[in-house]
Amino acid sequence: MHKSHSFYEEVLTDAIPEPTKLKSVRLISAGTMNQSVLLDTDKGALFLKSNHLPSSDMFLQEIKGLTLLHKHAPLQIPKTIGAGRIASQNYMLIEWIHGGYPNASYWKNLGHGLAELHMATSPQFGLDEDNYIAALPQRNTFNNNWPDFFAEERLEPMAGKAYYDGLISKDFYKKLQQVYPKLKDLIPNEKPSLLHGDLWSGNVIVNTKGDPCLIDPAIYFGHREMDLAFSKLFGGFRSEFYEAYHEIFPLEPDFESRVDIHNLYPLLVHLNLFGQSYLPGIKKVVKKLL
């Protein structure tokens, strides 16, 4: 349902120190979780996302993710304005990215930009705070070892939730856990990279210059193949993107053979968010690994 103008005016007052006049509101999307609107103000166009979820820090974590991406990525990232809670509603206010059409260098720029982002590193895998992927909590407890982090902070929390919610059987849950000890022999050892964390085609938009812009991150320092694998899960990334990435930061040999392993995490996320239509894909990967 479209919210009243009074809520939008309260957001502008809460997020922007100087008085800001609201000219008009345009609904962008109204899903089961979030509502997104374009606010036209005397200070320009702003993007507002809001929800009624009890987790009051979800948008604060998204703001932090965008801020960290802005610091390390050469790509355009929406400028952050503020996040908070008004009565029972959470909100996030950021720069509105006016859309355009991809230019001739779009995929090359995206590949180079992601490679440069991945060059930002950390002593350990994880992040100093937990955050979210979509509406699901994402644990980021630091770990020196990627296979352990991937098993303990990514696969196990999502598999455990799926079992608890009746989306997978106990037998399959136990079978999935048998994959964890195998990870150390399947994934090459690399330094932690700053990841977007939710890199599919819907989270890359085009600005007016035709250049790529990253939105909706679920950041952490992880294995960089996670972002590359996720980009293949739902299509939408052209071969020029991978070629350009490889020019800047070549992947270890046989990356394609590891894509399904990395994508167990986003598939489990989608299983928990959207139901059992994602289960056959998970079972296929687990069967192959065992």
Averaged pLDDT, 96-108:
97
Query: 93 - beta bridge partners?
Result: 48, 82
**Nearest-10 Cα torsion for 285, 286, 287, 290:** 130
Residue of 198, 216, 227, 260 marked active site: 198
**Whether residue 198 lies in the annotated active site:** yes
Other CB atoms within 10 A of residue 269 CB: 23
All structural domains of the chain with their residue ranges: 5-95, 106-289
Q: Does the domain spanning 106-289 belong to CATH 3.40.50.2300?
A: no
Residue reference for tokens 């050469």: 74
Name the CATH topology of 5-95.
Phosphorylase Kinase; domain 1 (3.30.200)
Q: Give strand ranges (E) for the chain.
A: 22-30, 35-41, 44-51, 80-86, 89-95, 131-133, 136-138, 193-195, 204-206, 212-214, 220-222
Distance (Å, rounded) from C-alpha 207 to C-alpha 102? Answer: 8
> Which DSSP symbol is given to 147?
H
User: Is residue 58 within 8 Å of residue 73, measured between CB atoms?
Assistant: no
Distance (Å, rounded) from C-alpha 286 to C-alpha 161? Answer: 17
The tens digit of pLDDT for each residue in 125-158 reads 999 999 999 989 999 999 999 999 999 999 999 9
Q: If pLDDT is split at 50, 70 and 90, which confidence band does 3 have?
A: low
The tens digit of pLDDT for each residue in 38-93 reads 999 999 999 999 999 887 799 999 999 999 999 999 999 999 999 999 988 999 99
Determine if residue 120 is left, alpha or beta; phi over 0 gives left, psi from -120 to 50 gives alpha, anything else beta.
Answer: beta
Find the helix packing angle between 225-233 and 239-248, rounded to 10°. Answer: 170
